[in-house]
Chain A
């Protein structure tokens, strides 16, 4: 409990730093390339085109609105993927900072998450443009978007906190997470519909047990197919996410001042 109180007072104290640092990072990312901010649009669009090409032309996939189907999945996946890969080496990458000044370490992750959120919002804005283009009928269920997003964020942040901590001490955790992420990627149904393609327990386990697959399928339900989300599932994953965050925050409070001795 004390741990959470400290967490919120730290967030209050450092959130402006986190925002400023995120903005600066985004700026620096584009300042050195020719097409600068256009990359934030070109990148997700190209991935969408590649997957659409491969799966409609090569594999004859027949989902309705397949491009948008892939695009929404990809957008959710990218956020999660960035959070996980970003957090494993986060402390080591900020060596200069961590060894010279005190900062609550989850502020680093918070700041990073802001940059990823920003990119995700651009991606979703593109998705909406695509939906207009393909004349997806409007449905009020689309507003459930704002309910699903916090679940994705909390779960990613929780995993991120834990990986950030263990990444300091375990050198090869990065390799492990890469393999893990690849597995989760193919099991999440970025370019296929788990609900249609799989049957029985496997379908159930993948959709319920993999938060990203779950978030993705819920997002598609409310955006494309005018269906309400599974509230029960959303609540369960939200609670799990919060629990992960609380554990992560507690571990980081206990250990963060030792990080500078290791890296």
Chain B
């Protein structure tokens, strides 16, 4: 009894001590594309020797932590493993080594959009995508109107998604992820979705989402001004490894210097 109480007290003390709660822990993350090419039975039978495995390691040993409510920017040249890492955090790719811990937070990947079933209507896809992001039907019902309004695609919402223009598609995708808010948001490239009007609307919405101090955000971008403006911390990836991590100004200055030098 006494022991239990002591423990409980200790826990409370610990809780006060470390006010910063970690939202994302990435430890020694390795992701490789290897030996996973499709095979056909013919080529398999003809070659008696095992097929040469073509290993490409996109992410090689990245570790970092983010506190809850912080905004982390990720920068690096093309092919440095940024998007791969983001997808792994979203749970789409598996890590070959190392681990990712989201501490039971919900996560969504903005901008490449949620997966739609193209045969179904936009309306039905709102529900299906929402449920895959971990929301219940009731929760989505409450937000349904807001999503449809934000997407602003008129009667097309009741038509099959395959009839959508690419602009409408991304507008709906953005509306779903932006209105159904998750604890952790992953943003791949600052959005350039739809026409000028929608672009402004989505940018404003994004600013609003990011500024919520409960929400943890990871932004991948090539634009140093945007990252400088939005982020609390910046991670510089170079060929799958962390080259530098820290205060946005320091990291971004160094990055710019190398890119231009």
CA–CA, A84 and B216, complex, Å: 43
For A21, the closest partner residue in chain B by CB is B128
Chain B residues, CB < 8 A from A102: 90-92, 132
Asked if B131 is an interface residue, CB under 8 A from chain A, the answer is: yes
Chain B residues, CB < 8 A from A169: 36, 38-39
Task: Report the number of A-B residue pairs with Cβ-Cβ less than 8 Å.
Answer: 94
For B136, the closest partner residue in chain A by CB is A16
Asked if B141 is an interface residue, CB under 8 A from chain A, the answer is: no
Give the contacting residue for B115; candidates A17, A28, A101, A261; CB below 8 A.
A101
CA–CA, A176 and B40, complex, Å: 11
| A257 near B137: Cβ-Cβ < 8 Å | no
B interface residues with partner A (beta carbon < 8 Å): 33, 36-42, 87, 90-94, 108-109, 112-121, 124, 127-129, 131-133, 136-137, 160
CA–CA, A97 and B41, complex, Å: 27
Give, as a whole number of angstroms, the nearest-CB distance from B127 to chain A.
6
Chain B residues, CB < 8 A from A126: none
Given known contacts A170-B40, A172-B42, A261 and B93 CB-to-CB distance under 8 angstroms: yes
Asked if A141 is an interface residue, CB under 8 A from chain B, the answer is: no
| A262 near B38: Cβ-Cβ < 8 Å | yes
Cβ contacts A to B, 27 pairs, < 8 Å? A14-B131, A16-B137, A17-B128, A21-B128, A24-B120, A24-B121, A24-B128, A25-B119, A94-B115, A94-B117, A96-B115, A96-B118, A97-B115, A97-B132, A99-B115, A101-B90, A101-B114, A101-B115, A101-B133, A102-B132, A169-B38, A172-B42, A257-B91, A258-B94, A260-B87, A261-B33, A261-B36
CA–CA, A21 and B39, complex, Å: 31
Interface size class of A (residues with CB under 8 A): 20 to 34
Give, as a whole number of angstroms, the nearest-CB distance from B205 to chain A.
20
Give, as a whole number of angstroms, the nearest-CB distance from A126 to chain B.
26
Asked if A98 is an interface residue, CB under 8 A from chain B, the answer is: yes
For B161, the closest partner residue in chain A by CB is A96
CA–CA, A14 and B91, complex, Å: 16
| B131 near A17: Cβ-Cβ < 8 Å | yes
19 further A-B pairs in the complex, CB-CB below 8 A; given A24-B117, A28-B120, A261-B36: A16-B137, A20-B128, A20-B131, A27-B120, A28-B160, A94-B117, A97-B115, A97-B116, A97-B132, A101-B109, A101-B133, A102-B91, A103-B132, A170-B38, A171-B38, A171-B40, A257-B91, A257-B94, A262-B37
Asked if A100 is an interface residue, CB under 8 A from chain B, the answer is: yes
A interface residues with partner B (beta carbon < 8 Å): 14, 16-17, 20-21, 24-25, 27-28, 94, 96-103, 169-173, 176, 256-258, 260-262
CA–CA, A99 and B113, complex, Å: 10
| A97 near B117: Cβ-Cβ < 8 Å | yes
CA–CA, A66 and B116, complex, Å: 45
CA–CA, A262 and B94, complex, Å: 12
CA–CA, A101 and B111, complex, Å: 12
| A28 near B119: Cβ-Cβ < 8 Å | yes
For B90, the closest partner residue in chain A by CB is A102
Give, as a whole number of angstroms, the nearest-CB distance from A26 to chain B.
11
Chain A residues, CB < 8 A from B112: 100
**Highest count of chain A CB atoms <10 Å: which of B108, B115, B119:** B115
| B93 near A21: Cβ-Cβ < 8 Å | no
Chain A residues, CB < 8 A from B160: 28
Given known contacts A17-B131, A20-B131, A28-B160, A176 and B41 CB-to-CB distance under 8 angstroms: yes
Chain A residues, CB < 8 A from B127: 20
CA–CA, A193 and B120, complex, Å: 42
Chain B residues, CB < 8 A from A17: 128, 131-132
For B160, the closest partner residue in chain A by CB is A28
Give the contacting residue for B132; candidates A101, A257, A262; CB below 8 A.
A101
For B32, the closest partner residue in chain A by CB is A261
**Highest count of chain B CB atoms <10 Å: which of A27, A100, A256:** A100
Chain B residues, CB < 8 A from A28: 119-121, 124, 160
For B96, the closest partner residue in chain A by CB is A258
For A173, the closest partner residue in chain B by CB is B41
**Highest count of chain B CB atoms <10 Å: which of A256, A257, A261:** A261
| A21 near B117: Cβ-Cβ < 8 Å | yes
Chain B residues, CB < 8 A from A21: 117, 128
Give the contacting residue for B92; candidates A172, A173, A260; CB below 8 A.
A260
CA–CA, A257 and B91, complex, Å: 8
CA–CA, A94 and B128, complex, Å: 13
| B114 near A100: Cβ-Cβ < 8 Å | yes
